[in-house]
Structure 1
Amino acid sequence: MSDQTPPDQDAAVAKAAASQRRVSLRSLFLDPNNYRIIHEPDQKQVLDSEVKNRDVMQRTMRLLCGDKNQNIQDLMESFKANGYLRVDQILVRELPDSGFLVVEGNRRVATLKFLQQEYESKGIDLGQLDPEIFSRCDGIVYSRVDNGEPIAAVTDIRRAAVFEIGRIMRNNGISAFAEAVARSSSNCLQ
Protein backbone atom coordinates (compact mmCIF):
# COMPACT_ATOMS: atom_id res chain seq x y z
CA MET A 1 0.00 0.00 0.00
CA SER A 2 1.26 3.45 -0.77
CA ASP A 3 0.57 6.68 1.07
CA GLN A 4 -0.80 8.24 -2.09
CA THR A 5 -3.97 6.80 -3.57
CA PRO A 6 -4.83 7.70 -7.15
CA PRO A 7 -8.01 9.81 -7.41
CA ASP A 8 -9.80 7.17 -9.47
CA GLN A 9 -9.38 4.69 -6.61
CA ASP A 10 -10.85 7.21 -4.15
CA ALA A 11 -13.84 7.57 -6.47
CA ALA A 12 -14.31 3.80 -6.66
CA VAL A 13 -14.24 3.48 -2.88
CA ALA A 14 -16.73 6.30 -2.49
CA LYS A 15 -19.09 4.64 -4.97
CA ALA A 16 -19.08 1.16 -3.43
CA ALA A 17 -21.22 0.09 -0.52
CA ALA A 18 -22.14 -3.20 1.03
CA SER A 19 -25.30 -4.27 2.73
CA GLN A 20 -25.86 -7.39 4.73
CA ARG A 21 -29.01 -9.38 4.08
CA ARG A 22 -30.43 -12.25 6.09
CA VAL A 23 -32.11 -14.61 3.69
CA SER A 24 -33.38 -18.15 3.47
CA LEU A 25 -31.10 -20.69 1.83
CA ARG A 26 -33.92 -21.27 -0.64
CA SER A 27 -33.41 -17.75 -2.01
CA LEU A 28 -29.67 -18.35 -2.57
CA PHE A 29 -28.77 -19.82 -5.95
CA LEU A 30 -25.43 -21.50 -6.54
CA ASP A 31 -23.30 -20.09 -9.33
CA PRO A 32 -23.27 -22.58 -12.23
CA ASN A 33 -20.28 -20.70 -13.67
CA ASN A 34 -18.25 -21.02 -10.45
CA TYR A 35 -14.51 -21.38 -10.90
CA ARG A 36 -14.48 -24.60 -8.84
CA ILE A 37 -16.52 -26.45 -11.45
CA ILE A 38 -15.54 -24.93 -14.80
CA HIS A 39 -13.15 -27.83 -15.46
CA GLU A 40 -15.89 -30.45 -15.02
CA PRO A 41 -17.06 -32.17 -18.24
CA ASP A 42 -20.74 -31.67 -17.29
CA GLN A 43 -20.36 -27.96 -16.62
CA LYS A 44 -21.99 -25.58 -19.09
CA GLN A 45 -21.91 -21.79 -19.19
CA VAL A 46 -25.24 -20.50 -17.94
CA LEU A 47 -26.92 -17.11 -18.31
CA ASP A 48 -28.39 -15.40 -15.24
CA SER A 49 -31.84 -15.99 -16.69
CA GLU A 50 -31.21 -19.77 -16.48
CA VAL A 51 -29.75 -19.95 -12.96
CA LYS A 52 -33.09 -20.94 -11.39
CA ASN A 53 -33.77 -23.73 -13.88
CA ARG A 54 -34.22 -26.98 -11.94
CA ASP A 55 -31.76 -28.95 -14.10
CA VAL A 56 -29.15 -26.20 -13.80
CA MET A 57 -29.58 -26.06 -10.01
CA GLN A 58 -29.28 -29.84 -9.64
CA ARG A 59 -26.22 -30.05 -11.91
CA THR A 60 -24.50 -27.18 -10.08
CA MET A 61 -25.20 -28.78 -6.70
CA ARG A 62 -23.90 -32.16 -7.88
CA LEU A 63 -20.73 -30.64 -9.35
CA LEU A 64 -20.00 -28.58 -6.23
CA CYS A 65 -20.70 -31.43 -3.80
CA GLY A 66 -19.13 -34.26 -5.78
CA ASP A 67 -20.76 -37.56 -6.69
CA LYS A 68 -20.58 -38.87 -3.12
CA ASN A 69 -20.34 -35.46 -1.44
CA GLN A 70 -16.56 -35.82 -1.23
CA ASN A 71 -16.10 -32.12 -2.10
CA ILE A 72 -18.07 -30.97 0.94
CA GLN A 73 -17.27 -33.69 3.48
CA ASP A 74 -14.83 -31.46 5.37
CA LEU A 75 -17.39 -28.65 5.65
CA MET A 76 -20.15 -31.01 6.77
CA GLU A 77 -17.93 -32.33 9.55
CA SER A 78 -16.87 -28.81 10.53
CA PHE A 79 -20.44 -27.48 10.61
CA LYS A 80 -21.60 -30.42 12.72
CA ALA A 81 -18.65 -30.11 15.12
CA ASN A 82 -18.48 -26.31 15.39
CA GLY A 83 -21.73 -24.93 14.02
CA TYR A 84 -21.71 -22.32 11.29
CA LEU A 85 -18.98 -19.79 12.01
CA ARG A 86 -19.59 -16.44 10.33
CA VAL A 87 -15.91 -15.87 9.65
CA ASP A 88 -16.07 -15.68 5.87
CA GLN A 89 -18.94 -13.71 4.40
CA ILE A 90 -21.09 -15.14 1.64
CA LEU A 91 -20.99 -12.62 -1.19
CA VAL A 92 -24.14 -12.43 -3.29
CA ARG A 93 -25.73 -10.33 -5.96
CA GLU A 94 -29.42 -9.86 -6.52
CA LEU A 95 -31.03 -11.65 -9.41
CA PRO A 96 -33.46 -9.62 -11.52
CA ASP A 97 -36.64 -11.47 -10.56
CA SER A 98 -35.91 -12.26 -6.88
CA GLY A 99 -33.29 -14.30 -5.16
CA PHE A 100 -29.54 -13.97 -4.94
CA LEU A 101 -26.70 -15.53 -6.90
CA VAL A 102 -23.82 -16.66 -4.70
CA VAL A 103 -20.65 -14.95 -5.93
CA GLU A 104 -18.34 -16.26 -3.20
CA GLY A 105 -19.18 -19.03 -0.76
CA ASN A 106 -20.75 -21.54 -3.16
CA ARG A 107 -19.23 -24.57 -1.44
CA ARG A 108 -20.45 -23.39 1.98
CA VAL A 109 -23.93 -22.71 0.64
CA ALA A 110 -24.00 -26.07 -1.18
CA THR A 111 -23.03 -27.79 2.08
CA LEU A 112 -25.75 -25.97 4.01
CA LYS A 113 -28.31 -26.80 1.31
CA PHE A 114 -27.30 -30.47 1.43
CA LEU A 115 -27.52 -30.56 5.23
CA GLN A 116 -30.89 -28.79 5.13
CA GLN A 117 -32.25 -31.37 2.70
CA GLU A 118 -30.95 -34.26 4.82
CA TYR A 119 -32.27 -32.69 8.02
CA GLU A 120 -35.74 -32.02 6.61
CA SER A 121 -36.12 -35.34 4.78
CA LYS A 122 -34.27 -37.77 7.08
CA GLY A 123 -33.97 -35.93 10.38
CA ILE A 124 -30.17 -36.26 10.50
CA ASP A 125 -28.29 -35.08 13.57
CA LEU A 126 -26.83 -31.65 12.87
CA GLY A 127 -24.55 -31.68 15.90
CA GLN A 128 -23.65 -28.08 16.76
CA LEU A 129 -25.20 -26.65 13.59
CA ASP A 130 -28.25 -24.56 14.47
CA PRO A 131 -31.04 -25.27 11.94
CA GLU A 132 -31.92 -21.55 12.16
CA ILE A 133 -29.11 -20.99 9.62
CA PHE A 134 -31.34 -22.57 6.96
CA SER A 135 -33.81 -19.70 7.19
CA ARG A 136 -31.49 -16.86 8.19
CA CYS A 137 -28.26 -17.07 6.25
CA ASP A 138 -26.15 -13.90 5.92
CA GLY A 139 -25.23 -12.58 2.50
CA ILE A 140 -23.31 -9.43 1.59
CA VAL A 141 -24.55 -7.49 -1.45
CA TYR A 142 -22.15 -4.96 -2.94
CA SER A 143 -23.70 -2.04 -4.80
CA ARG A 144 -22.79 1.36 -6.13
CA VAL A 145 -23.69 4.21 -3.80
CA ASP A 146 -24.46 6.70 -6.55
CA ASN A 147 -27.15 4.64 -8.29
CA GLY A 148 -27.68 1.51 -6.17
CA GLU A 149 -26.80 -0.84 -9.01
CA PRO A 150 -25.14 -4.08 -7.98
CA ILE A 151 -21.46 -4.54 -8.53
CA ALA A 152 -21.65 -7.62 -10.68
CA ALA A 153 -18.15 -8.99 -10.68
CA VAL A 154 -15.42 -9.40 -8.14
CA THR A 155 -12.17 -9.80 -10.03
CA ASP A 156 -10.03 -10.75 -7.04
CA ILE A 157 -11.84 -12.29 -4.09
CA ARG A 158 -8.88 -11.75 -1.74
CA ARG A 159 -9.09 -8.03 -2.35
CA ALA A 160 -12.86 -8.14 -1.95
CA ALA A 161 -12.28 -9.74 1.44
CA VAL A 162 -9.94 -6.88 2.35
CA PHE A 163 -12.63 -4.44 1.20
CA GLU A 164 -15.11 -6.19 3.51
CA ILE A 165 -12.68 -6.00 6.44
CA GLY A 166 -12.33 -2.28 5.77
CA ARG A 167 -16.12 -1.88 5.74
CA ILE A 168 -16.46 -3.68 9.07
CA MET A 169 -13.68 -1.63 10.63
CA ARG A 170 -15.18 1.63 9.35
CA ASN A 171 -18.58 0.63 10.75
CA ASN A 172 -16.95 -0.02 14.11
CA GLY A 173 -15.06 3.27 14.35
CA ILE A 174 -11.62 2.14 13.28
CA SER A 175 -11.68 4.56 10.39
CA ALA A 176 -8.12 5.66 9.55
CA PHE A 177 -6.84 2.17 8.91
CA ALA A 178 -10.15 1.12 7.39
CA GLU A 179 -9.97 3.91 4.81
CA ALA A 180 -6.47 2.83 3.82
CA VAL A 181 -7.59 -0.79 3.48
CA ALA A 182 -10.65 0.18 1.44
CA ARG A 183 -8.62 2.40 -0.89
CA SER A 184 -6.05 -0.32 -1.50
CA SER A 185 -8.72 -2.87 -2.35
CA SER A 186 -11.02 -0.75 -4.50
CA ASN A 187 -9.59 -2.00 -7.78
CA CYS A 188 -10.99 -5.48 -7.11
CA LEU A 189 -14.49 -4.25 -7.88
CA GLN A 190 -15.62 -3.64 -11.44
Structure 2
Amino acid sequence: MGDSFYEYLLKVWIQGNKTESVKHYRQMWETSMEGLISLTRQTTPSNYTYICEKSGGSLSHKMDELACFAPGMLALGASGYGPEKAKQIMNLAEELARTCYNFYQTTPTKLAGENYYFHAGQDMNVGTSWNILRPETVESLMYLWRLTGNKTYQDWGWDIFQAFEKNSRIASGYVGLRDVSS
Protein backbone atom coordinates (compact mmCIF):
# COMPACT_ATOMS: atom_id res chain seq x y z
CA MET A 1 0.00 0.00 0.00
CA GLY A 2 3.01 2.29 -0.38
CA ASP A 3 3.07 2.33 -4.16
CA SER A 4 3.27 6.10 -4.51
CA PHE A 5 6.41 6.19 -2.38
CA TYR A 6 8.33 4.09 -4.93
CA GLU A 7 6.99 6.03 -7.87
CA TYR A 8 7.88 9.35 -6.27
CA LEU A 9 11.44 8.28 -5.45
CA LEU A 10 11.98 7.93 -9.17
CA LYS A 11 10.08 11.06 -10.15
CA VAL A 12 11.95 13.24 -7.64
CA TRP A 13 15.21 12.02 -9.17
CA ILE A 14 13.92 12.84 -12.69
CA GLN A 15 12.44 16.21 -11.72
CA GLY A 16 15.66 17.02 -9.88
CA ASN A 17 17.43 16.73 -13.24
CA LYS A 18 19.18 13.53 -12.13
CA THR A 19 21.76 15.59 -10.26
CA GLU A 20 24.04 14.53 -7.42
CA SER A 21 21.76 16.22 -4.88
CA VAL A 22 18.89 13.82 -5.73
CA LYS A 23 20.99 10.75 -6.56
CA HIS A 24 20.07 9.10 -3.24
CA TYR A 25 16.43 8.94 -4.36
CA ARG A 26 17.48 6.98 -7.43
CA GLN A 27 19.57 4.67 -5.25
CA MET A 28 16.64 4.09 -2.91
CA TRP A 29 14.43 3.38 -5.93
CA GLU A 30 16.90 0.86 -7.38
CA THR A 31 17.12 -0.95 -4.04
CA SER A 32 13.33 -1.06 -3.89
CA MET A 33 13.13 -2.42 -7.43
CA GLU A 34 15.37 -5.35 -6.48
CA GLY A 35 12.75 -6.14 -3.85
CA LEU A 36 9.98 -5.83 -6.45
CA ILE A 37 11.84 -8.13 -8.85
CA SER A 38 12.16 -10.74 -6.09
CA LEU A 39 8.35 -10.78 -5.82
CA THR A 40 7.64 -11.42 -9.50
CA ARG A 41 6.38 -14.77 -10.71
CA GLN A 42 5.00 -16.20 -13.96
CA THR A 43 1.84 -18.17 -14.64
CA THR A 44 1.34 -21.23 -16.72
CA PRO A 45 0.29 -21.74 -19.42
CA SER A 46 0.34 -18.11 -20.71
CA ASN A 47 3.45 -16.82 -18.89
CA TYR A 48 1.79 -13.76 -17.40
CA THR A 49 4.22 -11.98 -15.10
CA TYR A 50 2.74 -10.72 -11.85
CA ILE A 51 3.90 -9.22 -8.57
CA CYS A 52 3.10 -11.21 -5.43
CA GLU A 53 1.99 -9.49 -2.27
CA LYS A 54 4.27 -10.00 0.71
CA SER A 55 2.95 -9.89 4.26
CA GLY A 56 5.54 -10.66 6.88
CA GLY A 57 7.32 -13.76 5.67
CA SER A 58 4.55 -15.10 3.47
CA LEU A 59 3.73 -14.47 -0.17
CA SER A 60 0.24 -14.25 -1.61
CA HIS A 61 -0.16 -14.94 -5.31
CA LYS A 62 -2.46 -11.95 -5.66
CA MET A 63 -1.95 -8.74 -7.59
CA ASP A 64 -4.12 -5.64 -7.35
CA GLU A 65 -4.97 -3.59 -10.41
CA LEU A 66 -3.49 -0.74 -8.40
CA ALA A 67 -0.06 -2.41 -8.84
CA CYS A 68 -0.37 -1.78 -12.58
CA PHE A 69 1.43 1.52 -12.01
CA ALA A 70 4.62 -0.59 -11.88
CA PRO A 71 5.09 -1.17 -15.64
CA GLY A 72 5.12 2.56 -16.33
CA MET A 73 7.37 3.28 -13.37
CA LEU A 74 9.83 0.58 -14.43
CA ALA A 75 9.83 1.79 -18.03
CA LEU A 76 10.48 5.34 -16.85
CA GLY A 77 13.34 4.21 -14.63
CA ALA A 78 14.97 1.78 -17.07
CA SER A 79 17.04 4.47 -18.77
CA GLY A 80 18.94 5.20 -15.55
CA TYR A 81 20.65 1.80 -15.69
CA GLY A 82 23.46 0.51 -17.88
CA PRO A 83 22.39 -1.14 -21.18
CA GLU A 84 22.03 -4.73 -19.93
CA LYS A 85 20.09 -3.88 -16.76
CA ALA A 86 18.01 -1.29 -18.64
CA LYS A 87 16.93 -3.99 -21.08
CA GLN A 88 16.04 -6.36 -18.21
CA ILE A 89 13.97 -3.67 -16.47
CA MET A 90 12.21 -2.63 -19.71
CA ASN A 91 11.41 -6.29 -20.47
CA LEU A 92 9.89 -6.66 -17.01
CA ALA A 93 7.86 -3.47 -17.57
CA GLU A 94 6.52 -4.85 -20.84
CA GLU A 95 5.73 -8.26 -19.33
CA LEU A 96 3.84 -6.68 -16.44
CA ALA A 97 1.97 -4.37 -18.84
CA ARG A 98 0.83 -7.43 -20.80
CA THR A 99 -0.54 -8.93 -17.58
CA CYS A 100 -2.28 -5.68 -16.62
CA TYR A 101 -3.82 -5.35 -20.08
CA ASN A 102 -5.09 -8.91 -19.79
CA PHE A 103 -6.72 -8.09 -16.45
CA TYR A 104 -9.10 -6.17 -18.72
CA GLN A 105 -9.30 -8.62 -21.58
CA THR A 106 -10.22 -11.68 -19.50
CA THR A 107 -13.59 -10.37 -18.30
CA PRO A 108 -16.86 -10.19 -20.26
CA THR A 109 -16.97 -6.39 -19.84
CA LYS A 110 -13.27 -6.01 -20.82
CA LEU A 111 -12.81 -4.03 -17.59
CA ALA A 112 -10.42 -5.12 -14.85
CA GLY A 113 -11.50 -6.26 -11.44
CA GLU A 114 -9.88 -4.78 -8.34
CA ASN A 115 -7.49 -7.71 -7.93
CA TYR A 116 -6.50 -11.06 -9.38
CA TYR A 117 -5.35 -14.38 -7.96
CA PHE A 118 -2.86 -16.70 -9.60
CA HIS A 119 -3.09 -20.42 -8.87
CA ALA A 120 -0.69 -23.15 -9.96
CA GLY A 121 -1.44 -24.23 -13.52
CA GLN A 122 -3.87 -21.33 -14.12
CA ASP A 123 -3.28 -17.89 -15.54
CA MET A 124 -5.43 -15.56 -13.46
CA ASN A 125 -8.80 -15.33 -11.78
CA VAL A 126 -10.70 -12.22 -10.78
CA GLY A 127 -10.63 -11.81 -7.01
CA THR A 128 -12.64 -8.73 -6.12
CA SER A 129 -14.84 -8.09 -9.13
CA TRP A 130 -15.63 -4.39 -8.90
CA ASN A 131 -14.02 -1.71 -11.05
CA ILE A 132 -13.59 1.77 -9.60
CA LEU A 133 -12.13 3.44 -12.71
CA ARG A 134 -8.47 3.11 -11.73
CA PRO A 135 -6.03 4.82 -14.16
CA GLU A 136 -2.84 2.85 -13.37
CA THR A 137 -2.83 0.48 -16.35
CA VAL A 138 -3.62 3.22 -18.86
CA GLU A 139 -0.90 5.44 -17.41
CA SER A 140 1.62 2.60 -17.74
CA LEU A 141 0.56 1.98 -21.33
CA MET A 142 1.04 5.68 -22.10
CA TYR A 143 4.59 5.61 -20.69
CA LEU A 144 5.43 2.45 -22.61
CA TRP A 145 4.05 3.85 -25.86
CA ARG A 146 5.99 7.10 -25.43
CA LEU A 147 9.24 5.38 -24.45
CA THR A 148 9.18 2.55 -26.98
CA GLY A 149 7.12 3.97 -29.85
CA ASN A 150 5.34 0.59 -29.97
CA LYS A 151 1.79 1.27 -31.20
CA THR A 152 0.55 -1.87 -29.44
CA TYR A 153 0.46 0.05 -26.17
CA GLN A 154 -1.60 2.79 -27.78
CA ASP A 155 -4.00 0.15 -29.16
CA TRP A 156 -4.31 -1.50 -25.75
CA GLY A 157 -5.14 1.87 -24.18
CA TRP A 158 -7.79 2.43 -26.82
CA ASP A 159 -9.31 -1.01 -26.10
CA ILE A 160 -9.59 -0.12 -22.42
CA PHE A 161 -11.07 3.30 -23.21
CA GLN A 162 -13.71 1.69 -25.43
CA ALA A 163 -14.63 -0.75 -22.63
CA PHE A 164 -15.08 2.19 -20.24
CA GLU A 165 -17.22 3.97 -22.82
CA LYS A 166 -19.40 0.91 -23.28
CA ASN A 167 -19.76 -0.14 -19.64
CA SER A 168 -19.16 2.89 -17.41
CA ARG A 169 -20.35 5.93 -19.34
CA ILE A 170 -23.46 7.65 -18.01
CA ALA A 171 -25.00 11.01 -18.91
CA SER A 172 -23.02 12.92 -16.29
CA GLY A 173 -19.64 11.14 -16.70
CA TYR A 174 -18.42 7.70 -15.69
CA VAL A 175 -19.37 5.28 -12.94
CA GLY A 176 -17.64 2.21 -11.51
CA LEU A 177 -19.03 -1.29 -11.87
CA ARG A 178 -20.01 -3.65 -9.07
CA ASP A 179 -19.09 -6.69 -11.12
CA VAL A 180 -16.86 -6.80 -14.22
CA SER A 181 -17.97 -10.37 -14.86
CA SER A 182 -21.56 -9.51 -15.82
TM range (shorter): 0.3 to 0.5
Structure with the bigger RCO (C-alpha within 8 Å, sep 6+) is 1
Q: Which has the larger radius of gyration?
A: 1
